[in-house]
Chains A and B, each alone.
Chain A
């Protein structure tokens, strides 16, 4: 089955700096890659996703890049703000029913 690895497990940045979270996957058939943000005590919420026919997608301060050859994808957050502090999860799907989640990155933005 698919194996998704996520790094780093914790990340601290100064407010206004950029944050990058990286994930690798093992199944070359994976074609859909969502990212979830989970604030403390809340549910994971989809913040951005990318399909395998696209190399990059951007939504305001967040962007996701995908390198199919290397089987890795990354989340980029620019101009970080304290409200970006949360746990972020990447996931991969091969079009089937199940998502395979990474182990999460706890991001802290220091004011």
Chain B
């Protein structure tokens, strides 16, 4: 069973569209994250939720809205997509404070045309 699963794996869409990426973890972890990896491979944190509560909200355009219906799920909705949003988006989870490393999902490659 995949520990952290993301869907879809690939997403090609036109500018101005709205799209969502879903993430689910079956590890029983308390904390989940969204990271953006650009073409230079830099991993930039976007959001973090702990037990459904938003605890990290980096400087991200408000076109990006995370939603955590329960602690096993963290979805990312993006409105009015722009060319610069093209990147790989990784979901990750972690047990909690001081509890070891992240487990990453397989990533969603978003291409905005």
Contacts and interface: CB of A to CB of B under 8 A. Distances in A.
B56 A97 contact: yes
Which of under 10, 10 to 19, 20 to 34, or 35 or more describes the interface residues of A? 20 to 34
Contacts of A97: 31, 48, 50, 55-56, 97
A49 B41 CA distance: 21
A98 B56 contact: yes
A107 to B, nearest CB: 12
Interface residues of B, number: 21
Contacts of A42: 106-107
Contacts of A44: 43, 90, 102, 104
A101 B107 contact: no
Contacts of A36: 101, 104
B15 interface: no
Contacts of A32: 98, 100
Contacts of B90: 43-44
Interface string A62-98: 0000000000000000000000000101000001111
A28 to B, nearest CB: 17
Interface in B21-72: 31, 40-43, 45, 48, 50, 55-56
Given A97-B50, A101-B43, A104-B41, A43 B105 contact: yes
A105 to B, nearest CB: 10
Nearest to A104: B41
A46 interface: yes
12 contacts: A34-B102, A38-B41, A44-B43, A46-B100, A46-B101, A46-B103, A49-B101, A95-B98, A97-B97, A98-B45, A98-B48, A101-B42
Interface of A: 32, 34, 36, 38, 42-46, 49, 87, 89, 95-99, 101, 103-104, 106
